[in-house]
Amino acid sequence: MWNILEQFLLLGLLLGIIYCFFTSTFDFWKNRGVPFRKPIVLFGNFASLLLFQKSLPEGIKDMYEWFKDERYFGAFRVMSPVLILRDPDLVKDICVKSFACFTNRGIPVNSQNSLSAHLFNLEGKRWKSLRSKLTPAFSSGKLKRMFYLLAECGEEFQKLIDASSETHRPFEIRELAAKFTIDVIGSCAFGIQINALTDEESEFHRTAKKLSKPSYTATLWRMLRTAMPKLYKFLDVQVIDPEVSKFFKNVVSQMINEREEHGIKRHDFMDLLIELKNKGSLDECGSGQVCNDEDEKITEEIELDENSIAAQAFVFFAAGYETSSNTIAFCLHELALNTEIQEKTRRDIQDAIDSRNGKLSYDAIQDMKYLDMVIAETLRKYPPAPMLSRRCEHQYQIPGSKVELPVGMRVIIPIYGFHHDPDYYPDPATFDPERFTEENKRTRHPYTYLPFGEGPRNCIGMRFALLQIKVGVISFLRKHRVETCERTITPIKFSRRSLVTTSEKGFWLKIIQYS
């Protein structure tokens, strides 16, 4: 009898210790006078997301609406306190004015051979140096010179769309768009003809599918790694499929050997990485000017080996493939539901091409002002990243308050919440490109629109992504229209296991060729 009682007492003591550990931080925001929602043991305020009951966009929007009259409020991710912003002026301060305090995302990286050590995750001087050296790859001049590659991919894509329209059956638009974005990235970034449009069994295509459908375990660890970084590093968790890692490392190794052995120059993203690997610096800095002494000093600290190059190649492929194909699909979905907007977009495209002797060119795309507005509204309603976060590197006092954030505190910017706030975007569920006329944009706070982030750590590939998205949409609308069908799902149900905004059930539409 006494032994059973002892066991119950020990169990009770153990549970008590676990409970006290996981609730030890729950008075953090109360002690600082910051409004917060009462957390749940083991989950904090993120239970619906960690249990996959809601998608990330839905969860972020719900949190954003907890304290509608506050500039910011507190929450808990498992047991880690986080600050969530609602004031665009605070977003500007975090991303720009006080950027030195919030330089890093604070995403832990495991093992030296991991593909996670890429530009998106890097920190401090290493991030600053690599960012400045990679910037030339995404300049407007570079994009203009490589546009012919995009145009070639667009022409091949149009042939696939032509063939698809002849079947008179619904198509999963994201699948079609993904084939196009894989080919574009392969051609423009790495100088490889992947032929994903015609070869669905290509290794690049299979790898892309694995990236777009991560396991629930991998998604859970992606959400937990910033809340429990010590456990993440102790267990040496790898959130990238080992087969994906192996594939990219092999491809990059083969490309480096081929180019160095034969002296091949394609003036693409891979050339830039190889030059950094061999020289430790480039002839020009991101601004197009010769590096100053400080830049040169930082540059000396870069040591790019094949694993590092593979990591940069991986993030370019992963980010450019999935977000762009989703945005193309979201855009066409909305145009199918709004036929007048679709027709106006098509006229804008055709007029710009006709004025340039019937040829799709870089300059013709710059003339497509209504298409710009349509893409902007798509990214407003369906931002690729529903949120972004920064880690506090120095003690920081929130402007206009006495609240001080300690080193290591994470600040969350709820992009999806801002984009669907009726105070900034009336009737936010309505797809309305007119929100992005020059006049209407001037009436809004610029930091309520954040599809690519803001400040020095915004998306380095933003211009490339927009160009790729536009060519994809143009390829569909130049000679075709899209229509809803019996398999079209409205409203769209977001995926609960994806950290980017995407559909759970796909984007099914009919493609009709103009006679």
Q: Which of 47-51, 90-94, 281-285, 503-507 shows the lowest per-residue confidence on average (mean pLDDT)?
A: 281-285
pLDDT at 6 over 70: no
Return the pLDDT at 310: 82
Other CB atoms closer than 10 Å to residue 340's CB: what's the count? 8
pLDDT band at 303 (very low <50, low <70, confident <90, very high): low
pLDDT band at 2 (very low <50, low <70, confident <90, very high): low
Return the pLDDT at 74: 96
- Distance of alpha carbon 446 from alpha carbon 468, whole angstroms: 24
Return the pLDDT at 515: 66
Other CB atoms closer than 10 Å to residue 161's CB: what's the count? 23
Return the pLDDT at 292: 40
Return the pLDDT at 1: 57
Query: Closest Cα to residue 101, out of 401, 385, 397?
Result: 397
Return the pLDDT at 329: 97
Query: What residue type is 165 in one-letter code?
Result: S
User: Which burial class, exposed, middle or buried, applies to 337 when counting CB atoms under 10 A from its CB (0-12, 13-18, 19+)?
Assistant: middle
For the ranges 44-53, 318-327, 435-444, the maximum mean pLDDT occurs at: 435-444
Considering only residues 65 and 193, tell me which one the structure prediction assigns the higher pLDDT.
65
What tens digit of pLDDT does each residue of 385-440 get? 999 999 999 999 999 999 999 999 999 999 999 999 999 999 999 999 999 999 99
Torsions phi, psi for 388 (to 5 deg): -140, 160
pLDDT at 483 over 90: yes
- Distance of alpha carbon 408 from alpha carbon 395, whole angstroms: 9
Section 77-94 average pLDDT: 95
End-to-end CA distance of the chain: give it in Å, rounded. 88
Return the pLDDT at 444: 96
Other CB atoms closer than 10 Å to residue 488's CB: what's the count? 20
User: Which burial class, exposed, middle or buried, applies to 236 when counting CB atoms under 10 A from its CB (0-12, 13-18, 19+)?
Assistant: exposed
Strands 80-85 and 410-413 come out as parallel
Q: Which residue has the tokens 């699948």?
A: 175
Section 298-327 average pLDDT: 77
pLDDT band at 286 (very low <50, low <70, confident <90, very high): very low
- Distance of alpha carbon 408 from alpha carbon 461, whole angstroms: 28
Section 79-85 average pLDDT: 94
- Distance of alpha carbon 369 from alpha carbon 339, whole angstroms: 18
Section 229-245 average pLDDT: 74
Residue 413's H or E segment, with its range, is strand 410-413
pLDDT at 287 over 60: no
Cα–chain-centroid distance for residue 345? Answer: 25
Give the CATH architecture of domain 4-513. Orthogonal Bundle (1.10)
Query: What residue type is 4 in one-letter code?
Result: I
- Distance of alpha carbon 420 from alpha carbon 415, whole angstroms: 9
Return the pLDDT at 7: 66
DSSP 447-494: GG--TT--GGGS-TTHHHHHHHHHHHHHHHHTTEEEE--TT--SSPPB
Query: Closest Cα to residue 465, out of 353, 330, 345, 327?
Result: 327
- Distance of alpha carbon 142 from alpha carbon 434, whole angstroms: 31
- Distance of alpha carbon 329 from alpha carbon 494, whole angstroms: 13
Return the pLDDT at 201: 64
pLDDT at 289 over 60: no
pLDDT band at 295 (very low <50, low <70, confident <90, very high): very low
pLDDT band at 158 (very low <50, low <70, confident <90, very high): very high
pLDDT band at 304 (very low <50, low <70, confident <90, very high): confident
Q: Any residues with CB less than 8 A from the CB of 177 and at least 6 apart, and which?
A: 324, 325, 326, 328, 329, 472
Section 120-142 average pLDDT: 84
pLDDT band at 296 (very low <50, low <70, confident <90, very high): very low
Torsions phi, psi for 73 (to 5 deg): -155, 165
Other CB atoms closer than 10 Å to residue 512's CB: what's the count? 12
Return the pLDDT at 492: 94
What tens digit of pLDDT does each residue of 493-504 get? 999 888 899 999
Return the pLDDT at 413: 97
Angle between helices 269-279 and 173-190 (to 10 degrees): 40
Torsions phi, psi for 275 (to 5 deg): -65, -40
Q: Which of 47-56, 100-109, 149-158, 196-205 shows the lowest per-residue confidence on average (mean pLDDT)?
A: 196-205
Return the pLDDT at 283: 53
pLDDT band at 285 (very low <50, low <70, confident <90, very high): very low
Q: Which of 32-46, 132-146, 259-273 shows the lowest per-residue confidence on average (mean pLDDT)?
A: 259-273
Return the pLDDT at 262: 79
Q: Any residues with CB less than 8 A from the CB of 95 and at least 6 apart, and which?
A: 102, 390, 413, 447, 453, 454, 455, 457, 458
Known binding-site residue numbers for heme: 459
Q: Which residue has the tokens 């609602």?
A: 86
Residues in the chain: 515
Section 39-48 average pLDDT: 89
* Paired residues of 84 in beta bridges: 73, 412
Other CB atoms closer than 10 Å to residue 139's CB: what's the count? 15
Strands 480-483 and 508-513 come out as antiparallel
pLDDT at 200 over 80: no
Query: What residue type is 318 in one-letter code?
Result: A
pLDDT at 333 over 80: yes
What's the whole-number average pLDDT of the chain? 85
Query: What residue type is 37 in one-letter code?
Result: R
Check residue 435 and report its DSSP letter. G
Torsions phi, psi for 513 (to 5 deg): -85, 135
pLDDT at 165 over 90: no
pLDDT at 131 over 70: yes
Known binding-site residue numbers: 459
